């Protein structure tokens, strides 16, 4: 298997805010170019607080980054960026902010040489703007403690803040001045108004703060917001920040409180219609091409577009797109040979924008897989519960999205869209045609592939893909290699019971010839047939004849024949005939494969009407010849083998009878039951299978009449049970008597 390039096995987007102008995909650069001049003009007024509002992931920080680039390029405004979310609890935002403004002033207005010394002495005497700012910050600063005192409201933890204030006061006393806070603020405002400096203070990610931290930030803004030549740009999700303030301040409405702080707001605009979907489509197609080293086909692109049309409309923010794309990048490359790319995108879209549907779907498909592989069933309680959740999640209206019509195309068992009871909405009959399409395309609805979409691994209850591929690879070499590969599956037991051969046959229920050569299919069919008598020998009698590997193998031959007939009808006829003439499993060919074909053709007449010709394996001309060949094979087998050698005696005898060899079969039986021990053994081998409260094995007189005289059967068995010198034979005769009684009960 070709390994995708390493860069496509990892995330390629860390979901960090963008700063590069070339990385803008949603028009934020254009917005910033028009927003920045308005902000610069507003700084000339008294202090102003502007809020940039948007939900998480809408691109607030990216827009702020572009705005700062535009403002910085203009050159007249200094930008001070604070990140309260990243600040330690011991940091004072007021001190940090005013300290940075003071340092900026000192850098810009710093004198040189002797003037510098004189200026310093004057500043100590009169109180320069930088020193006043530092004094004010020292006095009014509060640490970002989770407990504060704000606006007269006491919040535990005030001691730490009071200690900082006390230290600030002592520092002022050491300078020989002890003005009030109001006096300091007035002095600072006058000097800032006359200063040439203008400042843009950016406070980002306020919606990530804990309630107490959010309160401290708002206290910062309230204490310094009216300083002139400073504009505060706050970035937040209004709903989240208002809720934090409501909890931190104990007010009834945090949104109303926020309005007192922010004089102007700018809301991040919704993306233009289809912008997010178009963006996702472009990146998804790019990833597909990078992993597969080819462009998508028209059909693949149409499938992807349909997926995005149905599920992409729930995308709300650029972050949604990034999260979905990261999910696609993470899930697709490692299992690209076991999944369908459009379905991977569907699942990841559900995971991000419809998490409830994602969880329901994973659970539903898990149960559906067990049902489809005959490992279990869903009881009424489970169907009701799953049906209720399904009805809540999906509308019954065909034009809604997502709808039950949409889901019907994705997963099996949802065809009863308007069932009267909720239990009937789910786990319905599985269309073989639909299932075949799911499996061939490795779609989400395939019981053999669904788990790759959720767990990057196959379901443990279904045949691993590597085992399926191993058998199909053996078919490239020859029929014996196929037989050996299948025998390994048959003898490898599953933890939950049964064997893996049945799971392989389940896969072939939806087999198509796509990608397989005629020789490969021919070898597959011969390999299956050559194993079947071994399967019959090892068959546990508790297995139902309708569900066991023998019947599954027959269905597998049927599916392979029909698949081959779609591309080469003549070769399909030749292959089936070759299987019947040369396959090693004579008992299975006579008793299962050929007998079922007889019934499909309406023979013998007692069976009923013949099936439509599209269900036949052989056309009328080849069928007549096949009857003669298989009947001869049954006779030859009987000539060369004792009756005990047949792995399924009833199947062999009934198949031989239906082929027109009833007389020959009767002679063979009579020749093999000449002594009482072999007679009783014959009866036991002719038992059938039934189930009521337990599995049992009835013996039907009607099944024996074709081959032995049953007139004195009961008396003969009673005599053997009472008088035979071998106790083992006596016990066997008693078992046969019980089986006859059961036969009368089930008849």
Contact 200/77 with Cβ under 8 angstroms? yes
- Residue 570 belongs to some domain of the structure: yes
Q: Do 652 and 604 sit in the same domain of this protein? A: yes
Contact 354/446 with Cβ under 8 angstroms? no
Query: What 8-state DSSP symbol labels residue 314?
Result: G
Structure confidence at residue 268 (pLDDT): 85
Is residue 80 helix, strand or coil? strand
Q: What is the pTM of this model?
A: 0.59
How many domains would you assign to the chain? 4
Rounded Cα distance between 734 and 724, Å, is: 12
Dihedrals phi, psi of 36, to nearest 5 degrees: -60, -50
Contact 50/232 with Cβ under 8 angstroms? yes
Dihedrals phi, psi of 395, to nearest 5 degrees: -75, 150
End-to-end CA separation in angstroms for the chain:
56
Which range, of 42-51, 282-291, 369-378, 477-486, averages the lowest pLDDT?
369-378
Q: Do 352 and 399 sit in the same domain of this protein? A: yes
φ/ψ region of 32 (left if φ > 0, alpha if ψ in -120 to 50, else beta) reads: alpha
- Residue 231 belongs to some domain of the structure: yes
Q: Do 190 and 322 sit in the same domain of this protein? A: no
pLDDT tens sequence across 3-51? 545 444 444 555 555 556 567 777 788 888 989 898 888 887 677 888 9
φ/ψ region of 232 (left if φ > 0, alpha if ψ in -120 to 50, else beta) reads: beta
Q: In 10 A of CB 624, how many CB atoms?
A: 11
- Residue 540 belongs to some domain of the structure: yes
Mean pLDDT of 495-524: 83
Residues 6 or more apart whose CB falls under 8 angstroms from that of 91 comprise 143, 144
For 340, 623, 682, 687, the CA distances from 553, given in Å and listed in that order, are 28, 20, 26, 22
Q: Do 282 and 246 sit in the same domain of this protein? A: no
Name the band, by pLDDT with cuts 50, 70 and 90, for residue 128: low
* pLDDT reading at 164 higher than 90: no
Contact 9/335 with Cβ under 8 angstroms? no
pLDDT tens sequence across 389-412? 999 998 767 666 678 888 988 998
Q: In 10 A of CB 459, how many CB atoms?
A: 21
Q: Do 116 and 230 sit in the same domain of this protein? A: yes
Q: Do 559 and 447 sit in the same domain of this protein? A: no
Contact 268/52 with Cβ under 8 angstroms? yes
Among 418, 434, 455, residue at a domain's last position:
455
Residues 6 or more apart whose CB falls under 8 angstroms from that of 540 comprise none
- Which pair of structure tokens corresponds to residue 534? 């071994």
The domain containing residue 425 runs over which residues?
A: 275-455
Q: At what angle do helices 93-109 and 129-140 cross, to 10 degrees?
A: 170
Task: Give the closest residue to 257 by CA, choosing from 146, 142, 151, 147.
Answer: 151
Rounded Cα distance between 238 and 55, Å, is: 8
Q: Do 566 and 477 sit in the same domain of this protein? A: yes
Average pLDDT over all residues of the chain: 82
- How many CA atoms are closer than 13 Å to the CA of 573, on its beta-carbon side? 12
* pLDDT reading at 75 higher than 60: yes
pLDDT tens sequence across 591-614? 999 999 999 999 998 777 888 999
- Which pair of structure tokens corresponds to residue 723? 């008088």
Dihedrals phi, psi of 82, to nearest 5 degrees: -115, 140
Contact 489/467 with Cβ under 8 angstroms? yes
* pLDDT reading at 183 higher than 90: no
Laid out side by side, the sheet with 199-203 consists of: 78-82, 199-203, 230-236, 48-53, 264-267
- Residue 9 belongs to some domain of the structure: no
- Residue 493 belongs to some domain of the structure: yes
pLDDT tens sequence across 302-340? 999 999 998 988 888 888 998 999 999 999 999 898 899
Query: What 8-state DSSP symbol labels residue 495?
Result: T
pLDDT tens sequence across 224-269? 777 888 888 988 999 999 998 899 888 888 888 888 888 888 888 8
Contact 451/458 with Cβ under 8 angstroms? yes
Could you write out the three-class secondary structure of 89-113?
Answer: CCCEHHHHHHHHHHHHHHHHHCCCH
Name the band, by pLDDT with cuts 50, 70 and 90, for residue 189: confident
Contact 94/223 with Cβ under 8 angstroms? yes
Among 672, 694, 724, residue at a domain's last position:
672
Q: Please list the residues that pair with 132 across neighbouring strands.
A: none
Rounded Cα distance between 222 and 245, Å, is: 14
- Residue 19 belongs to some domain of the structure: no
Structure confidence at residue 22 (pLDDT): 60
CB-neighbour burial class of residue 303 (10 A; exposed 0-12, middle 13-18, buried 19+): buried
Q: At what angle do helices 620-640 and 649-656 cross, to 10 degrees?
A: 130
Residues 6 or more apart whose CB falls under 8 angstroms from that of 256 comprise none
CATH of residue 236's domain is 3.40.50
Contact 387/421 with Cβ under 8 angstroms? yes
Contact 206/214 with Cβ under 8 angstroms? yes
Structure confidence at residue 514 (pLDDT): 79
Q: Do 147 and 179 sit in the same domain of this protein? A: yes
Q: Do 303 and 227 sit in the same domain of this protein? A: no
- How many CA atoms are closer than 13 Å to the CA of 4, on its beta-carbon side? 20
**What is the distance of C-alpha 673 from the center of its chain?**
60
Rounded Cα distance between 156 and 248, Å, is: 12
Structure confidence at residue 616 (pLDDT): 95
Q: How are beta strands 153-154 and 149-150 bridged, if at all?
A: antiparallel
pLDDT tens sequence across 477-506? 999 999 999 999 999 887 766 788 988 887
pLDDT tens sequence across 697-720? 899 999 999 999 999 999 999 999
Q: Do 304 and 326 sit in the same domain of this protein? A: yes
Task: Give the closest residue to 227 by CA, choosing from 182, 268, 270, 186.
Answer: 186
Among 654, 672, 690, residue at a domain's last position:
672
- Residue 739 belongs to some domain of the structure: yes
Q: In 10 A of CB 550, how many CB atoms?
A: 24
Q: How are beta strands 199-203 and 78-82 bridged, if at all?
A: parallel
Q: Do 257 and 176 sit in the same domain of this protein? A: yes
Q: Do 536 and 438 sit in the same domain of this protein? A: no
- Residue 17 belongs to some domain of the structure: no
């Amino acid at each position: 298997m070709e390994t995708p390039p390493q860069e496509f096995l990892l995330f390629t987007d860390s979901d960090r805010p963008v700063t590069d102008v070339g990385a803008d995909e949603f028009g934020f650069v254009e917005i910033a170019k028009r927003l920045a001049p308005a902000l610069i003009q507003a700084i000339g007024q008294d202090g102003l607080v502007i809020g940039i509002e948007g939900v998480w992931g809408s691109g607030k920080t990216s827009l702020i980054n572009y705005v700062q680039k535009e403002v910085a390029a203009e050159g007249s405004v200094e930008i001070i960026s604070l990140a309260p979310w990243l600040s330690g609890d011991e940091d004072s935002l007021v001190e940090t902010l005013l300290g940075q403004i003071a340092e900026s002033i000192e850098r810009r207005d710093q004198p040189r040489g002797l003037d510098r010394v004189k200026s310093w002495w004057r500043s100590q005497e009169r109180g320069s703007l930088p020193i006043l700012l530092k004094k004010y910050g020292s006095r009014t600063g509060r640490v970002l403690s989770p407990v504060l005192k704000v606006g007269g409201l006491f919040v535990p933890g005030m001691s730490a803040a009071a200690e900082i204030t006390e230290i600030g006061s002592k520092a002022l006393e050491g300078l020989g001045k002890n003005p009030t806070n109001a006096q300091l603020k007035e002095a600072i405002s006058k000097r800032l108004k006359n200063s040439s400096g203008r400042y843009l203070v950016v406070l980002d990610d306020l919606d990530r703060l804990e309630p107490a931290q959010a309160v401290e930030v708002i206290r910062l803004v309230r204490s310094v917001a009216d300083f002139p030549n400073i504009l505060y740009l706050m970035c937040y999700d209004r709903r989240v920040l208002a809720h934090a303030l409501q909890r931190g301040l104990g007010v009834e409405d945090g949104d109303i409180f926020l309005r007192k702080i922010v004089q102007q707001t700018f809301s991040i605009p919704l993306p233009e219609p289809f912008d997010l979907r178009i963006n996702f489509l472009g990146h998804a197609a790019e990833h597909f091409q990078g992993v597969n080293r080819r462009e998508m086909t028209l059909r693949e692109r149409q499938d992807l577009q349909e997926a995005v049309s149905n599920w992409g409309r729930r995308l709300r923010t650029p972050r949604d797109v990034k999260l979905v794309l990261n999910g696609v990048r993470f899930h697709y490359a490692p299992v690209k040979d076991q999944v369908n790319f459009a379905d991977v995108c569907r699942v990841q879209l559900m995971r991000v924008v419809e998490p409830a549907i994602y969880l329901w779907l994973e659970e539903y498909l898990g149960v559906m897989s067990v049902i489809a592989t005959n490992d279990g069933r869903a009881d009424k309680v489970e169907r009701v519960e799953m049906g209720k959740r399904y009805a809540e999640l999906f509308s019954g209206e065909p034009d809604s999205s997502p709808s039950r019509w949409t889901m019907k195309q994705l997963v099996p068992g949802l065809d009863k869209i308007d069932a009267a009871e909720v239990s009937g909405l789910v786990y319905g009959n599985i269309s073989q045609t639909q299932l075949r399409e799911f499996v061939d395309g490795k779609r989400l609805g395939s019981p053999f592939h669904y788990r790759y979409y959720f767990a990057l691994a196959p379901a443990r209850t279904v045949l691993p893909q590597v085992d399926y591929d191993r058998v199909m690879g053996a078919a490239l070499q020859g029929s014996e290699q196929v037989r050996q590969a299948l025998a390994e599956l048959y003898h490898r037991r599953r933890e939950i019971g049964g064997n893996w051969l049945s799971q392989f046959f389940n896969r072939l229920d939806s087999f198509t010839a796509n990608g397989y050569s005629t020789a490969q299919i021919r070898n597959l069919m011969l390999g299956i047939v050559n194993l079947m008598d071994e399967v019959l020998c090892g068959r546990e009698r508790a297995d139902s004849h309708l569900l066991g590997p023998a019947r599954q193998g027959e269905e597998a031959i049927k599916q392979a024949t029909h698949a081959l007939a779609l591309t080469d009808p003549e070769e399909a006829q030749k292959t089936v005939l070759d299987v019947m003439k040369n396959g090693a499993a004579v008992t299975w060919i006579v008793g299962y494969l050929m007998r079922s074909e007889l019934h499909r053709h309406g023979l013998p007449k007692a069976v009923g009407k013949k099936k439509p010709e599209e269900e036949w394996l052989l056309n009328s001309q080849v069928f007549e010849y096949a009857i003669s060949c298989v009947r001869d094979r049954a006779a030859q087998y009987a000539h060369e083998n004792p009756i005990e050698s047949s792995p399924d005696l009833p199947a062999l005898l009934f198949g031989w009878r239906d082929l027109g060899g009833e007389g020959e079969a009767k002679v063979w039986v009579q020749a093999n039951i000449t002594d009482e021990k072999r007679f009783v053994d014959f009866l036991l081998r002719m038992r059938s299978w039934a189930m009521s409260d337990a599995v049992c094995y009835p013996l039907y007189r009607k099944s024996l009449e074709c081959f032995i005289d049953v007139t004195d059967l009961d008396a003969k068995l009673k005599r053997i049970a009472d008088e035979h010198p071998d106790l083992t034979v006596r016990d066997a005769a008693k078992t046969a008597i019980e089986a006859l009684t059961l036969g009368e009960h089930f008849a």
